[in-house]
Amino acid sequence: MIFQQLLNEDSGCLSYLIGCAQAGEAVVVDPGRDRVGEYVRLARKKGLKITGIVETHTHADHISGNRDLAAATKARIMVHRAAGAAFDHEALEDGREIRVGNVDLRILHTPGHTPDSICVLVTDRSRGDVPWFVLTGDTLFIGSVGRPDFGGAQAAEQTWESLTRVLLPLDDSVEIYPAHGAGSLCGRAMSSKTGSTIGFERRFNPLLRAKSREEFVDLLMEGIPAKPPSFEKIVAKNRGLLPVAAAKPRPFGARETSEAMRGGAVVLDIRDPASYGDAHVPGALNVWIESPQFADRVGWFVPAGAPVIIVTPSPGDIDRAVSALARVGVDEIVGYLQNGMIDWKSEDLPVEAVPQISVHDLEQWLGERRDLVVIDVREPFEWLEGHVDGALHVPMMEALERSADVPADRPKAVVCAGGLRSSTVISALQRAGLRDFYNVAGGMTAWLRAGYHVTRPTTAS
């Protein structure tokens, strides 16, 4: 058997190639849209022909590459019948076996995360009849389980049933490989490991240690992160209900960009926070292209369907951005600002700035009791690990819906772990009409390194 795991570090997505060298065939599981060429090259290098494509569920965080891969290889797409897919596919049922030479893939229906969720139990017949590993999709992660976004508590109960009925009866030695890892929006507190075993998860996964269905549901439902607004659009595209297009951005002049913004276009500034803070197009959204979860953060804050114009100092970043954003269904990239901010300034168009301050500045200002509010945009678990005394906690993903909580009449120092998320939140709140922000460069990492005081609450607020 040939087994290859492929990790997208930017998104935490995991896909798999499983093949039989003797038969010269392979199946790809959970292909990403931005990696189709990589699957084809890998199979060719291994002497394999891709004959099947399996989806463990209808993904909500990224656009699947199943149809692009099928077009490139003539492989058949296989999804569970509960997916309601509108494109050409082969419907899978619980217990179905797919043979790839000496390798058996057995379909295990595990509803919960989504109604169509499946796991794939893999046995290499050349080494025995005992299952070797299971691809768990978003049913079971390393250290967590899939979030029940689309079904709430009822979906959480289904997840419990699927885990206890299907996965936990497997032998402790069976390896598990999920569809997502650390950095994904599909779960929380996931390990950075990309593989584990049933036995290890049974012992150390907090959710699998729940003593009852009720305890499991309570643990899973408690503090679920906000659902990204792009989830429904991505699901519709993955079911074939909305078209999947390829962006073809062209150069925009400064005046043309300004006119497009008046018509509803969004300027996406993918420069680093310091460059953005120095001078940017008023109303531009800032997500640095080198940020973790770059595409996911853009997908969260860019209004659905809005035309997007990119600002970057390097033309080479445009193709990178288009490819990354295609993964999350942001296909409305119509152009890029020709010559970046140089062009904009040369036309004497207005600019905005966001002062960047150090943690030493922040500590001094707080000591002087200036009329300053500190806004912490980190996740709840980060907040509980320690935060600036008196800070207002507004997690990044809740910033827009909680903008009314942000004082409009006071200067605001925004802090995250390192200064990237804070810049994104500032840009989003500025688009919403708020002003007078400071971005804390280095964030809480620099604050802790400097030895400044933090507050650690004993209970979650």
SS3 string, 302-354, reads CCCCCCEEEECCCCHHHHHHHHHHHHCCCCCEEEEECCHHHHHHHCCCCCECC
The token duo for 363 is 């500590």
β-strands 333-337, 285-286 pairing: unpaired
- In the block, residue with structure tokens 């199943």: 66
> In this predicted structure, what is the pLDDT of residue 150?
67
Q: What's the mean per-residue pLDDT of the chain?
A: 92
Same domain, 198 and 173: yes
Same domain, 374 and 428: yes
> In this predicted structure, what is the pLDDT of residue 461?
42
**Domain extent for 341:** 245-346
> In this predicted structure, what is the pLDDT of residue 151?
72
Domain-ending residue, one of 346, 371, 389: 346
> In this predicted structure, what is the pLDDT of residue 27?
98
Same domain, 331 and 209: no
Residue range 233-290, pLDDT digits in tens = 889 999 999 888 888 999 999 999 999 999 999 999 999 999 999 999 999 999 999 9
Q: What is the CATH number of the domain that holds 400?
A: 3.40.250.10
Residue range 304-354, pLDDT digits in tens = 889 999 999 888 899 999 989 988 889 899 999 999 999 999 999 999 999
Q: Are 370 and 386 in contact (CB under 8 A)?
A: no
Same domain, 185 and 298: no
Q: Which amino acid is at 183?
A: G
459 belongs to a structural domain: no
Spatial separation of the C-alpha atoms in residues 183 and 358, rounded to whole Å: 27
Same domain, 140 and 22: yes
Residue range 26-75, pLDDT digits in tens = 999 999 988 999 999 999 999 999 999 999 999 988 899 999 999 999 99
Spatial separation of the C-alpha atoms in residues 311 and 341, rounded to whole Å: 8
- C-alpha 112: how far from chain center: 19
- Asked if pLDDT for residue 460 goes beyond 50, the answer is no
- Asked if pLDDT for residue 131 goes beyond 50, the answer is yes
Total number of domains constituting the chain: 3
For 27-37, b/e burial (b = at least 16 CB within 10 A) is bbbbbbbbbbe
Spatial separation of the C-alpha atoms in residues 345 and 415, rounded to whole Å: 29
> In this predicted structure, what is the pLDDT of residue 190?
55
Residue range 73-119, pLDDT digits in tens = 999 999 999 999 999 999 999 999 999 999 999 999 999 999 999 99
Closest by Cα among 350, 353, 347, 352 to 256: 347
Distances (CA, A) of 303 to 166, 298, 299: 40, 9, 8
Q: Determine phi and psi for 204, rounding to 5 degrees.
A: -115, -15
Q: Which amino acid is at 355?
A: P
- C-alpha 302: how far from chain center: 15
Q: Are 288 and 420 in contact (CB under 8 A)?
A: yes
Same domain, 175 and 264: no
Residue range 289-317, pLDDT digits in tens = 999 889 989 999 998 889 999 999 888 89
Q: Are 35 and 45 in contact (CB under 8 A)?
A: no
Same domain, 302 and 362: no
Residue range 363-386, pLDDT digits in tens = 999 999 888 999 999 998 899 999
Q: In 3-state terms, what secondary structure has residue 194?
A: coil
239 belongs to a structural domain: no
**Partners of 19 in beta bridges:** 2, 26
Residue range 164-215, pLDDT digits in tens = 999 999 999 999 999 998 654 544 555 568 899 999 999 999 999 999 999 9
Same domain, 303 and 371: no
454 belongs to a structural domain: no
> In this predicted structure, what is the pLDDT of residue 372?
94
Distances (CA, A) of 162 to 35, 93, 123, 167, 199: 30, 15, 20, 7, 17
First to last CA, the chain: 50
pTM, to two decimals: 0.82
Spatial separation of the C-alpha atoms in residues 393 and 374, rounded to whole Å: 9
125 belongs to a structural domain: yes
Please give the full DSSP string across 136-191, using - where no structure is assigned: EETTB-SSSB---TTTHHHHHHHHHHHIIIIITTS-TT-EEEESB-TT-SSSSS--
Same domain, 341 and 372: no
Q: Are 208 and 201 in contact (CB under 8 A)?
A: yes
> In this predicted structure, what is the pLDDT of residue 186?
46
Does 276 or 146 have the greater pLDDT score? 276
**Partners of 79 in beta bridges:** 91
Q: Are 63 and 101 in contact (CB under 8 A)?
A: no
Same domain, 149 and 203: yes
Q: What is the CATH number of the domain that holds 100?
A: 3.60.15.10
Angle, in degrees to the nearest 10, between helices 36-45 and 66-73:
40
